Amino acid sequence: MNSLTAARLVLQLRHWQLAMNELLKREPGRFCVPIHCALGHEAVAAATRLAMKPADRLLLTHRNMAFHLAHAGALEPLLLEYELSAAGLAGGRFGSMNLQNPAAGLVYTSSILGNNLPVACGVAMALKERGETAARVYVATGDGAIEEGAFWESLVLAASHSLNVCFLVENNDHSLATRIAERRCAIDLGRVAAAVGVDYELLTGNDPVQYAASLTKAPAGGGPIVREAMVTTFCNHAGPTPGWAADPRAIDAAGGLELEASPRDPVHVARRAIEEEEYQATNRFLTSLAVVVNAPRAAEAGAIGDMKKKEEEVEEKPAWRLT
């Protein structure tokens, strides 16, 4: 996937998440499961899509929306899953916080912080036993979740057994309503990784192609890697959260895909890889669709169908479609 395709994926992920945010804003009682948008996490999610080979696996946490969208390539199966519909991505059995999509390699998701880390080691060990040594196991975690003992134990376990695991830490300087300085000492993950002989890189700048290149690096002699991506989460924890600067209710999908004119926003970075004319056309097109999703329950009344119909009506379409 080249820079242009990756940038388009970032825009698509932002559009789908803005559509979800509209639903959560206007119909807070619509979903009976907690839903954690990941506005601002699009470059990391896109990078895993770029990086992963068919045999690779990805294990996720509560904040899995951007990852799932990137790998499912569509909003509809997620929206239906969040409504616990049998037509959803997992037949309505997992909802949001445990959602998995094994067909795409997304084999496990846990809402219990730190829980997916030892599971990832187990998956990697099984792959190693089977001789599938080239298959990498990616496991996402957060600056809050690494406070669990399971993170430290998993890192040592993976290093000791030379497991092909990529620990992908999304550091948004938040755990619920608290910032790192409010709850613990600083953790220099680069030095932690070095202390157990593990390769580490810090990911900043929200370029999915650069991130993917880092995620796919294989350390000499095998073993795990740690990648820490600095992320700005524009949507708070899961809806308005005390202690977070921005309120997701203030985000208006009709206001455009870019949320901040700075490299902290993956969409701002994606614009650089796209002709401005195409970006503006895509922006107008996608934001005109986002508000249409604000319809009665998707499963019953076909909000997605409305969105598709609207899509056909809009004359000025971008030259590309991902799905």
Task: Name residue, tokens 């804003």.
Answer: 25
Taking CB under 5 A as the criterion, the residue among 61, 115, 172, 206 binding Mg ion is: 172
> Which of 131, 186, 141 minimizes the C-alpha distance to 164?
131
The C-alpha torsion from 304 through 9 and 63 to 163, rounded to 10°, is 130
Q: Pick the piece of the chain touching ligand TPP (CB under 6 A) from 125-133, 167-175, 208-216, 245-253.
A: 167-175
Q: Least distance in Å: CB of 58 to Mg ion?
A: 18
Question: Given the complex with ligand TPP, which of 174 and 227 has the nearer CB atom?
Answer: 174
Q: Pick the piece of the chain touching Mg ion (CB under 5 A) from 134-142, 201-209, 243-251, 314-322.
A: 134-142
Q: Least distance in Å: CB of 110 to ligand TPP?
A: 9
Taking CB under 5 A as the criterion, the residue among 40, 88, 105, 144 binding Mg ion is: 144
Q: What is the largest CA-CA distance in the chain?
A: 58
Q: Least distance in Å: CB of 114 to ligand TPP?
A: 6
Can residue 142 be called a binding residue for Mg ion (CB under 5 A)?
yes
Can residue 59 be called a binding residue for ligand TPP (CB under 6 A)?
no
Taking CB under 6 A as the criterion, the residue among 77, 144, 248, 318 binding ligand TPP is: 144
The radius of gyration of the chain from alpha carbons, rounded to an integer in Å, stands at 19
Can residue 40 be called a binding residue for Mg ion (CB under 5 A)?
no
Cα–Cα distance measured from residue 19 to residue 16, given in angstroms and rounded to the nearest whole number: 5
Tokens for 18, please give them: 């803005």
- Please list, in sequence order, all residues whose beta carbon lies within 8 angstroms of the beta carbon of residue 41, skipping any fewer than 6 positions away: 63, 66, 170, 172, 231, 233, 266
Q: Least distance in Å: CB of 131 to Mg ion?
A: 36
Cα–Cα distance measured from residue 309 to residue 158, given in angstroms and rounded to the nearest whole number: 49
Q: Least distance in Å: CB of 118 to ligand TPP?
A: 13
Cα–Cα distance measured from residue 72 to residue 93, given in angstroms and rounded to the nearest whole number: 17
Q: Least distance in Å: CB of 125 to Mg ion?
A: 27
Can residue 62 be called a binding residue for ligand TPP (CB under 6 A)?
yes
Taking CB under 6 A as the criterion, the residue among 49, 63, 68, 227 binding ligand TPP is: 63
Taking CB under 5 A as the criterion, the residue among 68, 71, 174, 271 binding Mg ion is: 174
Residue 323 · residue 73 · CB < 8 Å = yes
Task: Report how far apart, in Å, the C-alpha atoms of 17 and of each of 75, 247, 272 are.
Answer: 9, 15, 21
Tokens for 87, please give them: 């037509």
β-strands 57-60, 137-142: how paired? Answer: parallel
Can residue 57 be called a binding residue for Mg ion (CB under 5 A)?
no
Residues that bind ligand TPP (CB under 6 A): 62-63, 111-113, 142-145, 170, 172, 174-176, 237
